[in-house]
Amino acid sequence: MEDATAIFWKSFIKHPRQTGAIAPSSRHLARAMLAGADLSRARFVIELGPGTGAFTAAILAALPPGADFLAIERNPELAAFLRRRLPQAEVTCDDAAHLRRHAAKRAAPPSAVFCGLPLSWLPASERDAILDAAAAVLPPGGTFTLFQYIHAAWTPPGRQVQRALARRFQRIERHPTWRNLPPAYVWRCVR
């Protein structure tokens, strides 16, 4: 099987704006993404843009037995790689903006949505469709967790993402993660 770094670079070269990163996310960023999420009682969790699975493995390890998990990945090569790498994960190849359709097929709403998508790089209409869908599927108290690279968080597109989050979520926390290339903020948003 191809290694995660090789498949990441192949994807980056073919689709740089969709990939939105210069390196795969570190295990430190994965830990930071899950740090505030209590998944011990989760019945259903969604991951948007799992890429090579840097967060997926950590999410799966934190879920209780019998919990439902769905990863939505738009890139067919990354979706296929992730299915081979983590066969226990349900991975669908679709646009993240369609997550309402996928969530509606489940017995319970997701208690958490994790997002690895480069929201700052996406056109505003696409970003807003994804954020609207995430906010719509989460019940009160549900969390939406994403990251933004520190250097990009204060650019005009980065500020647009932050304003878009503030319009959809009641409580937003920001935590820096320095041990990632590049360093990133983890944003935890509560519905």
Task: State the DSSP string of 24-49.
Answer: PPPHHHHHHHHHT---TT-SEEEEE-
Cis peptide before 182 (omega within 30 of 0): yes
Return d(Cα 181, Cα 132) in angstroms, integer. Answer: 29
Q: Does pTM surpass 0.85?
A: yes
- Predicted local confidence at residue 19, as pLDDT: 45
Among 7-11, 38-42, 110-114, where is mean pLDDT lowest? 7-11
Cα–Cα distances in angstroms (integers) from residue 66 to residues 39, 41, 111, in the given order:
12, 10, 14
pLDDT at 96 > cutoff 80: yes
State the CATH number of the domain containing residue 55: 3.40.50.150
- Predicted local confidence at residue 10, as pLDDT: 56
Return d(Cα 34, Cα 37) in angstroms, integer. Answer: 5
Give tens-digit pLDDT for 125-182.
999 999 999 999 999 999 999 999 999 999 999 999 999 999 999 999 999 999 998 9
Q: Please give the full DSSP string across 167-188, using - where no structure is assigned.
A: HH-SEEEEEEE-SSSS-EEEEE
Range of the domain at 33: 4-190
**93: number of Cβ within 10 Å:** 16
For the chain, what is the domain count?
1
